Amino acid sequence: MDAKVHELLNQQINKEFYSAYLYLDFSNYFEEVGLDGFANWYKIQAQEERDHAMLFYTYLQNEDQKVTLKAIAKPDKEFNCHMDVLKAGLEHEKYVTSLINDIYGAAYDVRDFRTMQFLDWFVKEQGEEETNANDLITKMELFGSDPKSLYMLNQELAARVYTAPSLVL
């Protein structure tokens, strides 16, 4: 495996674990303000990100590549309102999309088709993640100022259950 591709894949493990930490922090915010459905939604997001990290981890191991685990940064954002959290989530997903695109580009440059095929799932997944984050913002803009509607949205998010990724390595 190309050294740059290997390094970017290894860094992505850390970025995915950071994403899990960040979403747990978002979940904690919503627990503190009494929106347990939103908290549930972000706990599940954290589980997904943790699984994404493990997919990268397993891929590198399956390719006989060394995995180097690094310290995970502490989330450092302060939020003044619910919308700040949701917008931070969208911005983070866009950032992760850029990271996946960078790895894909590096793999493309060296004709690493196996890594590109592995990343195809993540490219699609990031499209879904950005759509979900956008949808939450839209729903909050539409319903967030009305207590009854916010309650219903919170109930909708509380119903979300975790589904493990179906990527086969």
Q: What pTM did the predictor assign? A: 0.93
Residue 92 lies in a domain: yes
Per-residue CA distances from 47 to 44, 59, 155 (Å): 5, 18, 20
Please tell me the distance from the alpha carbon of residue 128 to that of residue 70, in angstroms, as a whole number: 28
Residue 164 lies in a domain: no
Identify the CA nearest to 99 among candidates 23, 165, 11: 11
Residue owning tokens 């993640």 = 129
Please tell me the distance from the alpha carbon of residue 15 to that of residue 95, in angstroms, as a whole number: 10
Identify the CA nearest to 166 among candidates 109, 129, 138, 125: 125
Q: Dump pLDDT digits (tens) for 43-54.
A: 999 999 999 999
Residue 14 lies in a domain: yes
Q: In the structure encoding, which two tokens stand for residue 158, read together? A: 């509380």
Q: Dump pLDDT digits (tens) for 61-105.
A: 999 999 999 999 999 888 999 999 999 999 999 999 999 999 999
Is 90 exceeded by the pLDDT of residue 167? no
Identify the CA nearest to 101 among candidates 13, 12, 2, 26: 12
Residue owning tokens 């706990």 = 43
Residue 83 lies in a domain: yes
Residue 60 lies in a domain: yes
Confidence class for position 165, pLDDT limits 50, 70, 90: confident
Residue ranges making up the domain that contains 45: 3-158
Beta-carbon contacts of residue 36 (< 8 Å; ≥ 6 apart): 30, 154, 158
Query: What's the maximum distance between 2 C-alpha atoms anywhere in the chain?
Result: 54
The percentage of the chain sitting over the pLDDT mark of 90, rounded to a whole number, equals 92
CATH code where residue 85 lies: 1.20.1260.10
Confidence class for position 21, pLDDT limits 50, 70, 90: very high
Residue 168 lies in a domain: no
Domain total of the chain: 1
